[in-house]
Amino acid sequence: MIQAHKLAAFGQLSTGVAHEINNPLAIINEEAGWLQDLLAKEESRDFTYCGEFTESLRTIIKQTHRCGDITGKLLRFAENMDSYIREVDLNELLDEVVGILEKDAALRSIVIERDFDTDLSRMHSDSAQLRQLALNLVNNALDAVERDGKVVVGTRSKGADWVVITVKDDGYGISTDHLHRVFEPFFTTKPPGKGAGLGLSICYGIATKLGGVITVDSAVAKGATFTVTLPLRAPGQEMIG
């Protein structure tokens, strides 16, 4: 309940903050672009520090785009769109997500294994949000492993009305001190510039919105297992056709 209140308050705050930050970001980006245009003119080529200024402006524009990506994530996190429910083959959806990430994983010598329950019932849920949930969890697992490891993505039934998704990695794990904070917005143990700390809080929000729960079990140097328990029929507006 405390976590749900935190996320609700954060959602309200983030919308206003994101809009307020986007306005000056747009101005900074426009002004930097204008200065680039000036430096590209023939009469500016004799300017002693033209090269240094051009490179600095390129960095400014790159970082404003990065800030824009973060505020975009804030806005998407805060959106309260209705869930559109349709029939979903969860194993097929997860197989698609794994397929998208396998090439990147292979470059880092990470194997992604599928451990799917072949008798899994079809869900009635929001496929777009399930896909986002899975992408975030698997990406998080790959980041935790870094190189030369394994990630296992699994599914299983739980009773007659529930399904369970597990994403297990053999990465560096999460300390006991940090374990209770992993779903908090902006909390991250990654180095600066490697993550905004929104991925797992977005997973928490999606799981809750779809009527389920997400938990984590981990210890330092023993990897982590994220478990998402979801109803076969999620709350929301049923899609027709």
Q: What percent of the chain has pLDDT over 70?
A: 81
Q: So what's the pLDDT on residue 194? A: 58
What residues contact residue 141 under an 8 Å CB cut-off, 6+ apart?
151, 167, 168, 169, 171, 224, 226
Among candidate residues 94, 110, 233, 63, the one with its CA nearest the CA of residue 165: 94
Mean pLDDT of 73-97: 77
Q: Quick check: 8 pLDDT over 60?
A: no
DSSP state at residue 42: G
Strand partners, 125: 86
Contact present, 163 and 120 (Cβ < 8 Å) = yes
Which domains, ranges and CATH numbers included, belong to the chain? 2-78 (1.10.287), 84-235 (3.30.565.10)
Q: Which two tokens stand for residue 142?
A: 């790959």
Q: So what's the pLDDT on residue 125? A: 95
Q: What percent of the chain has pLDDT over 90?
A: 40
Q: Which two tokens stand for residue 204?
A: 């928490």
Q: How confident is the model at residue 105 (pLDDT cuts 50, 70, 90)?
A: very high
10 versus 114: the higher-pLDDT residue is: 114
Q: Which two tokens stand for residue 73?
A: 């994530």
Express each pLDDT in 9-67 by its tens digit. 555 566 666 767 877 888 888 888 888 888 888 777 777 788 888 889 989 998 888 88
Q: How far apart are CA 136 and CA 199, in angstroms?
A: 6
